[in-house]
Amino acid sequence: MSRQQPPPQPSPARRGGSYLMSRYLIQRLGFALLTLAALVVVVPILLVIGVIVVRGIGAVNWEFLTAMPREGMKAGGIFPAIVGTLLLTLGTALAAIPIGVGGAIYLSEYARDTWLTRAIRLAIINLAGIPSVVYGLFGFGLFVLFLQFGTSILAGSLTLAIMTLPIIISTAEEALRAVPTEFRTVSASLGGTHWQGICNIVLPQALPGIITGVILGLLRAAGETAPILFTVAAFYLPRLPQSPFDQTMALPYHLYVISTQVPGMPVKIQYGTAVVLLALVLSMNVIATAIRSYFRRRRQW
Amino acid sequence: MYESTNSERTNMAEIKIRIEDVSYSYDDKPALRNVTLDVPANAITVFFGPAAGGKTTLLRLINRLNDLVEGTQMSGRILLDGQDIYTPGFDVINLRRRVGMVFALPLPLPGTVRENVLYGPKLAGLRDPTRLEEILVRSLTQAALWDEVKDRLDDPASALSGGQQQRLCIARSLALEPEVLLLDEPTSGLDPISTGKVEASLFELKQNYTIIIIPHSIQQAARVADYAAFFLMGELIEYRPGKEIFTTPRDRRTEDYVTGRFG
């Protein structure tokens, strides 16, 4: 064979066959394991949702959603618990969003990289890892007893807000940092103050990321039981709260109560309550995803 | 010959910017060493030389954009119309309105063509719609872009071509009617036709503005320079009228660079 001619492409089988076979085999094995891992994650979630919906959907009807509980919660609806959870989520949002987003702006746009800001960041990460029952006890001590808010929506919302803050701050800071530095430089070069650059360019660009973080944080707050256990939740209160200093029922706690504390509770109502809580939380999740993908498509960088 | 150019220099128009013995370093890495240089008004002054020569740093010092960078040290003075811009209490925001900057990469802000051009004036507090419209038309015309975008003013700026985006960035700086325009390799990403358009508009603009430009090639430096300063490793090697420095460079290193022996 003359050297000038390009050598014929050896077919895979001819070039050291067994080694190649084993490489393909390893690849297939790897993919199989990865697929299995994905299934292990996804299947239980689908099972949980499936079982809850199948067993509980029958209990969900107009009366269940809009009526007061009757006969020691064994009949009637869960209206006050739904309202309570919505109010708590709203209160959490009002307290956590301004502080959380403000803190994120400070950390990403103003704070210099000193030991202090590094300590703050570390503290925020660690706050996210604290068990929720600890937040509950902390809120009980600070808001219910020390500040004398009593067992109230106010105390519960603030407790949930503290628990939500780390999530909001860290996602919002990440979203702000993702905005290219060049935009800030251009804004400054056109005679903009630091704050004008943040308001006009950085914040609008980071908004989808911030909104996603906020919703994910509130989502967690809406589903928590432990923090509201000592600070706001009423065992059985068949009326709507009258003021922020009132107690209220809430879906997660109500679910806990009717599943463990009330003998002879119809299983259907338990599953029905779970379906409502799940629908509430999942719909918030879907909204967050929709907002994110909508803004991502409009983003110009 | 040398005499006449020398007198030409002393006669040359008023000094707009005076750079006095400026040294600058990033985290103790020196970027500029004892640079002294006068920039005349209503002319194009070119800063050229190989990479890492300190050209961009000096440019960013002139409108204090390097204030945003942490861990830097500076000595020396920079005077704009005889005023030291680094005196404590100097109005930096106003300085940046008087000294505009165009960057190496076209960096349109998110938003439409119109929003980009009017970003500066709006931040300055201008609200009158007829004035804003005037500014829009004037700036885009000055940047040789008006004809191409007059029907697309409300399109996203990112939909323009690279060359159009860069001219949009020039228009955005001109919207503030600055006295000085700093351009850092404004045509580095552009095709020759767009480059020609940008250079042509620079010749127009120098009637009214003081222009400092870092060119992206020696050819461009030679084409546009009224005055040219050669930078090497943070030092100003030679600073003379453009016609002279490219034909009869006095310093050996300038000659080597201009004739393409290195760089």
Tell the residue number behind the tokens 């099972």, with chain if given. Answer: A47
Report d(CA B173, CA B116) in Å as an integer. Answer: 10
Please name the residue of chain B whose CA is at the shortest distance from the CA of residue A110: B68
Is the pLDDT confidence value at A6 over 70? no
Cβ contact A183–B110 (<8 Å): yes
Residues in chain B with CB shorter than 8 Å from the CB of A187 are 109, 119, 123
Average pLDDT over residues B123-132: 89
Residue A184, chain B, CB below 8 Å: the answer is yes
pLDDT tens across A93-147, in order?
999 999 999 999 999 988 888 898 889 889 988 888 888 889 989 889 888 888 9
Residue B102: beta bridge partners? B183
Kindly state whether residue B232 falls inside one of the protein's structural domains: yes
Q: Which of B70, B105, B123 sits opposite A191 (nearest CB)?
A: B123
On chain B, the residues whose CB falls within 8 A of the CB of A200 are 119, 123
**Three-state DSSP string of chain B:** CHHHHHHHHHHCCCEEEEEEEEEEEECCEEEEEEEEEEEECCCEEEEECCCCCCHHHHHHHHCCHHHHCCCEEEEEEEEECCEECCCCCCCHHHHHHHEEEECCCCCCCCCEHHHHHHHHHHHCCCCCHHHHHHHHHHHHHHCCCHHHHCCCCCCEHHHCCHHHHHHHHHHHHHCCCCCEEEEECCCCCCCHHHHHHHHHHHHHHCCCCEEEEECCCHHHHHHHCCEEEEEECCEEEEEEEHHHHHHCCCCHHHHHHHCCCCC
Q: Which residue of B has its CA nearest to A189?
A: B96
Give A68 to chain B, closest Cα distance, Å.
51
User: What CA–CA distance (Å, rounded) separates B18 from B239?
Assistant: 13
Mean pLDDT for B161-180 is 89
A297 touches chain B (CB under 8 A): no
A191/B173 CB distance under 8 A:
no
Phi, psi (degrees; rounded to nearest 5) at B66 = -75, -5
Q: Which domain holds residue B194?
A: 2-109+176-258
Residue A281 near residue A222, CB atoms below 8 Å: yes
Residue A31 lies inside a defined structural domain of this protein: no
Contact with chain B for residue A201, Cβ under 8 A: yes
Residues B93, A192: C-beta atoms closer than 8 Å: yes
State the pLDDT at residue B143.
Answer: 85
The answer to whether position B187 is within a domain reads yes
CA distance A118 to chain B (A): 17
Q: Does residue B133 belong to any structural domain of this protein?
A: no
State whether residue A110 sits within 8 Å of chain B by CB. Answer: no
DSSP A68: P
Cα–Cα distance for residue pair A258/A191, rounded to 1 Å: 62
Residues sharing a CB contact under 8 Å with residue A289, sequence separation 6 or more, in sequence order? A212
| Tokens representing residue B35 in the block | 């640079």
Nearest CA in chain A to B157: A300
Please tell me the distance in Å from B176's CA to the nearest CA on chain A. Answer: 8
Is A43 inside any structural domain? no
CB atoms within 10 A of CB B75: 12
User: Quick check: B119 and A205 CB within 8 A?
Assistant: no
Residue B154: Cβ-neighbour burial (10 angstroms; 0-12, 13-18, 19+): exposed
Q: What size, in residues, is chain A? A: 301
Distance CA A10, CA A4 (A): 17
* A162 domain residue, yes or no: yes
- Judge whether B17 and B78 are in contact, CB under 8 Å: yes
Number of domains in chain B: 1
Count the domains in chain A: 1
Mapped onto helix, strand or coil, the DSSP state of residue A129 is coil
> For the residues B86-92, what does the mean pLDDT come to?
89
**How confident is the model over A27-52, as pLDDT tens digits?**
999 999 999 999 999 999 999 999 99
CA quadruple A113, A117, A122, A125: dihedral, nearest 10: -100
Q: Do the domain assignments include residue A12?
A: no
- H/E run at residue A220: helix A203-223
CATH value at residue A203:
1.10.3720.10
Average pLDDT in chain B: 86
What's the confidence (pLDDT) of residue A3? 55
> Could you report the predicted ipTM of this complex, rounded to two decimals?
0.82
Tell me what the mean pLDDT of segment B96-111 comes to.
88
Q: Is residue A236 part of a domain?
A: yes
What pLDDT score was predicted for residue A15? 54
CATH of the domain at B100: 3.40.50.300
**A27 lies in a domain?**
no
pLDDT at B3: 38
**Distance from chain centroid for Cα A262:** 30
Distance CA B17, CA B94 (A): 16
Residue A253, amino acid: Y
The string of pLDDT tens digits covering residues B26-56 is 888 889 999 999 999 999 999 998 888 889 9
Tokens 């919906």, located at residue? A53
Cα–Cα dist B169/A186, whole Å: 9
Nearest-Cα residue of chain B relative to residue A114: B70
**A113, A184, A193 ranked by CB distance to B93: nearest:** A193
Query: For residue B125, is it within any domain?
Result: no
The answer to the question of residue A64 being in a domain is no
Whether A187 has its CB under 8 Å from any CB of chain B: the answer is: yes
> The pTM is what?
0.78
Domain-embedded: residue B42: yes
Range of the domain at A217: 82-249
pLDDT for A257 equals 85
Whether A19 shows a pLDDT value over 70: the answer reads: no
Instruction: Give the integer Cα–Cα distance in Å for A172 and A203.
Output: 10
Determine contact, residues B109/B115, Cβ cutoff 8 Å: yes
Q: Which of B70, B124, B157 sits opposite A191 (nearest CB)?
A: B124
- Report yes or no: A72 at the B interface, CB cutoff 8 Å: no
- A112 reaches B (C-beta below 8 A): yes
Q: What residues are paired with B112 via a beta bridge?
A: B156
| A14 assigned to some structural domain | no
Residue B247 lies in a domain: yes
Residues of A in contact with B69 (CB under 8 A): none
Give the nearest chain A residue to B64 (CA atoms).
A189
Residue A288 pLDDT? 82
Torsion of CA B35, B38, B39, B40, to 10 degrees: -170
